[in-house]
Chains A and B, each alone.
Chain A
């Protein structure tokens, strides 16, 4: 048992360290949502902070991305900034 002591300690430390996860920092003025996109062109907005079922159950990640600003530069459109996505 003694010869496994260091290994056990390493596992305990790894589990312990990974248990501490700081909450993601969010700007109070910025909200991020999942967007449905085709060829970098946003075609719709899922008003959720989690990926939609379609993003998770199907393998078309090209159509789903997170991190866009909720409010587009052009307020007359419903779509977010493509530039923000490309970053």
Chain B
């Protein structure tokens, strides 16, 4: 019972990140020129804008694919966690040390204020961390059954 509930929670967490990464990647690719010029204005990564503007959305799609397949979901959750930590640190740095704040996020997320974006990212980082914890816990509890499925 507890095991199946954990599996459902892991599925939901993975689905949330698939939705998030696919949506933001498509938004960035659809409006790539705008995304590129917004990144160019960033004091941290502006000089790597050409590379980042393509690498970031494709990386997000890649992570979404990892999360989709059960055999790679654990790795996908770990990379999601790492990405969210990176995004959160970036936003934290920009808020703390930069007066000029160009938002290069995709879709409706770009309408959030930087502070709200920071809160959202912290929440998503915790969610990814929780997903990893649940996955490890489920693996320990039912290693045989879990590996048969995942």
Q: Is A71 an interface residue (CB 8 A)?
A: no
Report B-chain residues with C-beta under 8 Å of the C-beta of A11.
Answer: 18-19, 22, 64, 68
Are B15's CB and A6's CB within 8 A? yes
Q: Is A72 an interface residue (CB 8 A)?
A: no
Report A-chain residues with C-beta under 8 Å of the C-beta of B26.
Answer: 14-15, 18
Q: What does DSSP make chain A's interface, helix, strand, loop or mixed? A: helix
Are B16's CB and A56's CB within 8 A? no
Are A10's CB and B16's CB within 8 A? yes
CA–CA, A14 to B18, complex, Å?
8
Of A25-33, A36-44, A59-67, A73-81, the stretch lying at the interface with chain B is: A59-67
Q: Is B103 an interface residue (CB 8 A)?
A: no
Report A-chain residues with C-beta under 8 Å of the C-beta of B37.
Answer: 61, 65-66
Are A7's CB and B30's CB within 8 A? no
Q: Is B122 an interface residue (CB 8 A)?
A: no
Question: Would A6 and B12 be within 8 Å (CB), given that A14-B22, A61-B40 are in contact?
Answer: yes
CA–CA, A10 to B19, complex, Å?
5
Q: Is B107 an interface residue (CB 8 A)?
A: yes
Task: Please list 7 pairs of residues, one from A and one from B, whose beta carbons are closer than 8 Å in the complex, sorted by A's number.
Answer: A3-B11, A6-B15, A7-B15, A11-B22, A18-B22, A18-B23, A18-B26
Which residues of chain A have a CB within 8 Å of any CB of chain B? 3-4, 6-7, 9-11, 13-15, 17-18, 21, 51, 56, 59, 61, 65-66
A sample of 13 more A-B contacts (CB under 8 A), given A3-B11, A10-B15, is A3-B70, A7-B14, A9-B15, A10-B18, A10-B19, A11-B64, A11-B68, A13-B19, A13-B23, A14-B22, A15-B22, A18-B22, A51-B33
